[in-house]
Structure 1
C-alpha cells in the first residue's frame, strides 16, 4: 500500500482502475478497504483512490483532536502528491463532512461530490451518539464495538435477512481477529472532527454538483440532516432509500453502485 508524507503526517492509500479520478473517503472507524464492494463496480469505469483516513488503518494516528478542515486538507495534499488537479469526491458519513470541507476550502479540486449519510452540524442527540461510541470503544472488546455499530447503522430488514445477518456475524468475527484495530486516541480524534463539524453557513458556497444520498430510516444521521444539506447546497439532488439505515449503501448495493456511476459520468 503506497503512502505519502506531508508535514510529518503519513497517509496510506490504494489506487484501483483507470479513467476519471475519483477520491473515496470512508467514515469513522473504517479504513479504505471498506470500499471493496463498491470498487468492484466503480474501478471498471474510473481511477479510484481509497486512502486510510487520519487516525485509522495504516495511516498515522496522531493524538489530539482532529477537525473536518484538517482532514480535508489531508486530501488536498494527497491530490497534489498524486498529480490530480480535479476529482469526483465520494464521502461516506465522516467522509462526507471531509468532502464538504474539501469543496468549501479547495473548490478548484472538486468536479462533483457524493455525500453519503451526511450532516452540516450535530445536534445534542448526534453528539451523544458519538460520545457513546467513544465510551464503548474504551470499555468493549473490538467485536462488541462492531456489534454496537451494527445496531446503529443497519435497518431492521437487514437484521431479518438471514444471509445479510450472516455477513454481519462474519464481520464481528473478523473484528475479533483484527491485527491492527483503531486505537482509542485515533477514534477520539475522529469523533472530535465529527462533533465539531459545522458548515451550515458555508453550504451556499459549494458550487460542485452534489448527490446527497442516504436511508430514510437512518437513526445515526436522521433525515433532517439530509434535508438541511439539500436546502443549503445550491446544485444538489437528494435520494433516500426506503427501509434503509446509515449503511444504506450495503443494503442497496447494486442500485447504489450504479446510481453513483451514472452521477459521476453525467458530471465528467
Structure 2
C-alpha cells in the first residue's frame, strides 16, 4: 500500500513506505496489527505534509488500507482495495489445501505453490521472477508477525465507516483470498464499485496490469 499525491499518479507503482520489519524499516517493536500499520502510514503522510491521499492497497496492504480509511478518514481521498479480505466473520478463508501448500517444508515446493497461486500458467511460462512474493531479507520473526497481522485483521463491523469513494478489485480465480471477499467488502461500503478480472489469481493486478492499472488510474483521477 502506498500513499500518493493526486499529482503523482504517473509514479504510482514506485511510491510507498516500508512496513515494520521490511525494507529499511527493521523495527520489530509491537504490538503489530493492521491498525498499527495504518497509524504508521498516517505518520508518514503527516511527516510528508500530505493532507489527503489516494490509497491503493493489495492483499495485506488492502487490510491496512481499510483501517487507514476507517480510523483516519480525513487522510483518504479515494481508496482502491485489491485481492484483500474484510477479516472477521465476513471473511471467506483460503482452503486447507492452500494452507498446506504454503506450509510445505520444502522451500522450492513453497515457491512453486506461490507462483501457481499468484499467476496463471501462461504467465509462469514466460516469466522467471515476481516482485510479489515478499521481502526475502525479512527476519523469521518479522515474517511470523506479518502473518499474524493478516490473520487477526477484522474490519467486518467497521467497513460501513469508510466514506471515501472506493474501488474493489479481485481476480475471479484467487485461492489465497477467495473472490467472495470482494463482494463482502463492497456490500458494506456506501460509495463502492467492484471489478473482477476473469481468470485472475492473487497477483492479477500484476499479470493483467495492462488492463487493471488504467482502471485504477482512471478511478483515482476522477
2:20 match:
54
Number of equivalenced pairs = 219
Secondary structure in 1 matching 2:85:
coil
Secondary structure in 2 matching 1:243:
coil
Normalised by the length of structure 2, the TM-score is 0.85
> Which of 188, 192, 213 is residue 144 of structure 2 equivalent to?
188
Correspondence 1:235-250 to 2 at 5 A: 235-250=191-206
Normalised by the length of structure 1, the TM-score is 0.71
Secondary structure in 2 matching 1:51:
coil
Which region of structure 1 is more displaced relative to structure 2, 223-232 or 178-187? 178-187
1:76 match:
42
Which region of structure 1 is more displaced relative to structure 2, 107-116 or 63-72? 63-72
Distance change in 2, residues 1:182/1:132 (3 Å): farther
1:116 match:
82
- Greater fraction strand: 1
Distance in 1, Cα, partners of 2:51 & 2:13 = 13
What stretches of structure 1 of length at least 5 have no aligned partner?
A: 1-13, 23-40
Tell me the CA shift for residue 153 of structure 1.
1.7
Distance in 1, Cα, partners of 2:182 & 2:153 = 15
Correspondence 1:91-102 to 2 at 5 A: 91-102=57-68
Secondary structure in 1 matching 2:32:
coil
1:165 match:
125
Give CA deviations for 1:6-44 in whole Å, capped at 9, x if unaligned. Answer: xxxxxxxx99xx96266xxxxxxxxxxxxxxxxxx832x
Counterpart contact for 1:117–1:226, Cα < 8 Å: yes
Q: Say yes or no: does 1:20 pair with 2:15.
A: no
1:152 match:
117
Give CA deviations for 1:178-225 in whole Å, capped at 9, x if unaligned. Answer: 995222111111111111111111011100000000101111111211
Tell me the CA shift for residue 252 of structure 1.
1.1
Secondary structure in 2 matching 1:90:
strand
Distance in 2, Cα, partners of 1:97 & 1:47 = 18
Root-mean-square deviation (CA), in Å?
A: 3.2
What stretches of structure 2 of length at least 5 have no aligned partner?
A: none
Counterpart contact for 1:63–1:189, Cα < 8 Å: no
2:153 match:
197
Counterpart contact for 2:22–2:135, Cα < 8 Å: no
Secondary structure in 2 matching 1:112:
strand
